Amino acid sequence: MPEPLAVIGGVGTELLRYPTFDAINDWPARIARAWDADVVRQIFARERDLEPQPPECQSDYKVSYFLRDASDARLEDLRERLRAAGLETALIYSSARDLDVLPAGVDKGAAAAFLASKWSYAPEHVCVSGNSGNDAALFEHGFRGIVVANAHEELKAVARDHRAFIAPAPFADGVREGLRHWLEI
């Protein structure tokens, strides 16, 4: 498989050069204007249905919780509480369990688009892959998408609406199949 130039982590809040894993420092601080992770934590501290994820899942630009089977109304209520506090955020809810609160405009797709632009790659020369709902934003930028067979249905539904290859194989084998598919076109 070809080696990547960068790794996107933390649901799009971290960009690392590959293979050194040095941070690409002008992301996401450049767009995180009305953001404060500590304020997010304070606002949600008394929410009984929000269970903070472990410390290694938290960062300056990502506050993560477990929230099981949240309704659209519950998610909108949480968004409104953040807006009322003057925060510009995005809520990424996936797997009927994982809630990530990020600065507005920060997600995996925006991070990939930032890198493509920074390095002057046209979208059709970028391959992205995923397996869960927090990968959905990757498929909204015209990239060549790969969804592996073991992906959650929430991502497969997004992939069907965008330019994506749904691989018959799971895990890395599915990524390999997807790369073959896109490189042969």
Q: Is the dihedral of CA 166, 167, 169, 171 positive or negative?
A: negative
Task: Answer with the residue of higher pLDDT: 100 or 2.
Answer: 100
Asked if 37-103 and 107-184 have one fold, the answer is: no
Are the C-beta atoms of 62 and 100 separated by less than 8 Å? yes
User: Mean pLDDT, the chain, as a whole number?
Assistant: 94
Please give the average per-residue pLDDT across 119-148, as a whole number: 95
Mean pLDDT in residue range 32-47: 94
Domain positions in the chain are 37-103, 107-184
Q: Which residues pair with 22 in a beta bridge?
A: none
Q: What is the mean pLDDT of residues 33-38?
A: 91
**What Cα–Cα distance (Å) separates residue 104 from each residue in 11, 13, 180?**
13, 11, 34
Q: What is the CATH number of domain 107-184?
A: 3.40.50.1000
At 4, the pLDDT band (50, 70, 90 cuts) reads confident
CATH tag for 37-103 (out of 3.40.50.2020, 3.30.1280.10, 3.30.450.20, 3.90.1070.10): 3.90.1070.10
Residue 177's pLDDT band (cuts 50, 70, 90): very high
Q: Tell me the per-residue pLDDT of 8-34, one tens digit each, with 9 for 90 and over.
A: 999 999 999 999 999 998 888 777 788
Give the pLDDT score at 115: 96
- pLDDT tens track for 106-131: 999 999 999 999 999 999 999 999 99
Interval 144-166 mean pLDDT: 93
Q: Which of 115, 87, 118, 117 is nearest to 103 (CA)?
A: 87
pLDDT score at 122 = 97
pLDDT digits (tens, 9 = 90+) for 61-83: 999 999 999 999 999 999 999 99
